[in-house]
């Protein structure tokens, strides 16, 4: 089907994908904006997976200081070439990730980074909660695994919903994947630090505080 320039423009504003990619996604989705956005997200994830093993030795350190100067974040965002590192959109990505970390206070970059010790402790807490609520033993493991998704979303940067795109379910991992697809380079986040006045800075990989 034929899609209008207005539809393409709107999808580009939402996704940041190139015009032709937006046009093809809209055609595949029969003009449905939400479905076209999902198509672009899937393509971005697929592209990111193909480039995941490529070295990222360039990049920038993004920063964000919250209003009043009470909270600050530094995050390293890597790419493959200095050309991309100097790109304004890539630098904006680093800034947005710093803002995300400031707002959500994650402890890990990816869910694969969660240590066995922290994961075992969380499973014990979830199992105890399920048991106390009267759930039968036969379904405890399934309940625990289901609730771990919320734990990952709270404490793993890549699993969090992107705060600047509250109108959709876009995660930080999907946002980064879309930039990988756009720039044609692998992009990684190896580390970050979040500082709050009067509070000891939590390091990535540290155990989350009990709720």
CATH number of 4's domain: 1.10.8.10
Give the mean pLDDT per block of 10 residues along the chain (211 residues): 82 74 87 84 75 90 92 96 96 97 95 92 89 82 86 94 81 90 91 89 51 38
pLDDT at 162: 93
Final residue in a domain of this structure, among 151, 170, 201: 151
Final residue in a domain of this structure, among 51, 68, 83: 51
Q: Is residue 170 domain-shared with residue 109, that is, in the same domain? A: yes
Q: How many domains does the chain have?
A: 3
- In this prediction the pTM is 0.75
Q: Is residue 138 domain-shared with residue 71, that is, in the same domain? A: no
pLDDT at 211: 38
Final residue in a domain of this structure, among 103, 136, 151: 151
Residue 39: partners with Cβ closer than 8 Å, 6 or more residues away: 25, 28, 29
pLDDT at 205: 47
Q: Is residue 140 domain-shared with residue 165, that is, in the same domain? A: no
pLDDT at 41: 78
Q: Are 162 and 100 in contact (CB under 8 A)?
A: yes
Q: Are 66 and 102 in contact (CB under 8 A)?
A: yes
33: containing domain: 1-51
Q: Is residue 20 domain-shared with residue 84, that is, in the same domain? A: no
């Amino acid at each position: 089907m034929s899609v209008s320039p207005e539809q393409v423009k709107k999808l580009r504003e939402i996704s940041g994908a190139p015009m032709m990619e937006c046009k093809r996604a809209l055609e595949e989705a029969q003009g449905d904006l939400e479905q076209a956005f999902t198509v672009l997200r899937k393509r971005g994830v697929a592209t990111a997976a193909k480039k995941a093993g490529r070295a990222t030795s360039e990049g920038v350190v993004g920063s964000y200081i919250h209003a009043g100067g009470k909270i600050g974040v530094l995050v390293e965002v890597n790419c493959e070439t200095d050309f991309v590192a100097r790109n304004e959109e890539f630098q904006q990505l680093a800034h947005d990730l710093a803002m995300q970390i400031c707002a959500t206070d994650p402890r890990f970059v990816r869910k694969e980074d969660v240590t066995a010790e922290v994961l075992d402790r969380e499973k014990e807490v979830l199992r105890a909660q399920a048991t106390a609520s009267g759930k039968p033993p036969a379904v405890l493991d399934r309940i625990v695994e289901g609730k771990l998704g919320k734990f990952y979303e709270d404490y793993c940067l890549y699993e969090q919903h992107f705060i600047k795109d509250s109108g959709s379910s876009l995660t930080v991992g999907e946002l980064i994947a879309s930039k990988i697809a756009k720039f044609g380079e692998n992009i990684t986040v190896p580390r970050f630090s979040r500082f709050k006045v009067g509070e000891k800075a939590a390091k990535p990989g540290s155990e989350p505080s009990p709720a």
